[in-house]
């Protein structure tokens, strides 16, 4: 799929399958991009270019099954380009999913903000990677990477290694990547306040995955909440 949002226009796209996407946001254009993937996942490639003062707000809710790689590469090509990316992914069974999300600051005063949240259950594997790259001359740019995965089961694994690459001095960059394993101390703590195992697990799973639902309209929102309940047994 190819999309061009013309100068000064606003567009909203909702995709509920494995469609790849190429998009260009012209000057002052804005795009609200919403992905919700519920069935079998296949490789997805997203390429985007943002021009002067263009705004991207992207949300991806991934509750799919399977083995796949999602590749997103967003280029911030002109002053004032601003991209925000939110992802929540649930890996269960023997899923193997990798999200490679990159932002390239090609111009000064561009902003990218990425939040990736994931839960890995059973014997699944979940990887968050990607590079936020601030190129030479892209001064006064801001970039933020936040990647968090919680791993529940012994055979499940998670890896969060987004990378910051910075070739300019006068920039603001922040980076947080955490893979946490739910341990006995956490569970004891939650239980000691009156939550049983299921309630404790639900609290954690919902904390990671539920906020993404707020980006979607009510039908998809309900489906996301139902998916969390069913797949996490909470």
Partner 1 sequence: MNNLVIKNLHVSVDGKEILRGINLTINEGDNVALLGPNGHGKSTLLMAIMGHPKYVITCGTIAFNKKDVKKMSVDERSKLGLFLGLQNPSEVPGVNNSDFLKNILNVRREKPMSLFTFYKELEGAYQKMGIPFEMANRNLNEGFSGGEKKRNEILQMLLLNPKIAMLDEIDSGLDVDAINVVAKIINQQHQKGTALMVISHYARLFDLIHPNRAVIMVNGKIVLDGKADLIKRIDKEGYEWIKQELGIDINKIEHNQVSIGACATKVALKEQNK
Chain contacts with partner 1 (rule: CB under 8 A) = 117, 148, 150, 178, 180, 184-186, 188-196, 199, 203-204, 206-208
Phi/psi of residue 136, each to 5°?
-55, 140
Task: Output the six-digit token pair for 181.
Answer: 């394993």
- Write out the H or E segment, with its range, that includes residue 113: strand 111-120
Report the alpha-carbon distance of residue 32 to residue 30 in Å, rounded: 7
C-beta of 208 vs 216, nearer to partner 1: 208
- Write out the H or E segment, with its range, that includes residue 221: helix 218-232
Report the alpha-carbon distance of residue 41 to residue 36 in Å, rounded: 11
C-beta of 51 vs 201, nearer to partner 1: 201
C-beta of 14 vs 188, nearer to partner 1: 188
Q: Are 77 and 50 in contact (CB under 8 A)?
A: yes
C-beta of 40 vs 161, nearer to partner 1: 161
Question: Closest separation between CB of residue 104 and partner 1, Å?
Answer: 29
Question: Closest separation between CB of residue 193 and partner 1, Å?
Answer: 4
Question: Closest separation between CB of residue 117 and partner 1, Å?
Answer: 7
Question: Closest separation between CB of residue 134 and partner 1, Å?
Answer: 26
Phi/psi of residue 224, each to 5°?
-60, -45
C-beta of 165 vs 210, nearer to partner 1: 210
Question: Closest separation between CB of residue 202 and partner 1, Å?
Answer: 8
C-beta of 43 vs 196, nearer to partner 1: 196
Task: Output the six-digit token pair for 10.
Answer: 């606003």
DSSP state at residue 213: G
Question: Closest separation between CB of residue 234 and partner 1, Å?
Answer: 12
Q: Are 21 and 15 in contact (CB under 8 A)?
A: yes
């Amino acid at each position: 799929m190819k999309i061009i949002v013309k100068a000064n226009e606003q567009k909203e796209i909702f995709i509920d399958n494995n469609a790849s996407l190429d998009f260009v946001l012209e000057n002052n254009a804005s795009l609200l991009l919403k992905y919700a993937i519920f069935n079998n996942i296949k490789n997805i490639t997203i390429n985007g270019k943002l021009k002067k003062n263009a705004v991207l707000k992207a949300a991806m809710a991934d509750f799919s099954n399977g083995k796949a790689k999602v590749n997103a590469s967003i280029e911030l090509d002109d002053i004032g380009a601003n991209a925000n990316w939110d992802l929540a992914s649930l890996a269960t069974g023997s899923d193997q999913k990798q999200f490679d999300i990159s932002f390239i600051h090609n111009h000064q005063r561009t902003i990218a903000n990425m939040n990736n949240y994931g839960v890995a259950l059973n014997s699944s594997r979940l990887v968050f990677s990607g590079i936020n790259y601030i190129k030479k001359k892209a001064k006064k740019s801001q970039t933020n990477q936040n990647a968090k995965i919680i791993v529940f089961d012994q055979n499940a694994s998670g890896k969060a290694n987004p990378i910051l690459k910075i070739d300019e001095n006068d920039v603001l960059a922040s980076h947080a990547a955490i893979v946490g394993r739910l341990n006995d101390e956490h569970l004891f703590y939650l239980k000691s306040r009156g939550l049983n195992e299921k309630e404790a697990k639900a609290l954690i799973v919902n904390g990671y995955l539920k906020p993404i639902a707020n980006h979607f309209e009510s039908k998809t929102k309900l489906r996301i909440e139902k998916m969390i309940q069913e797949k996490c047994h909470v």
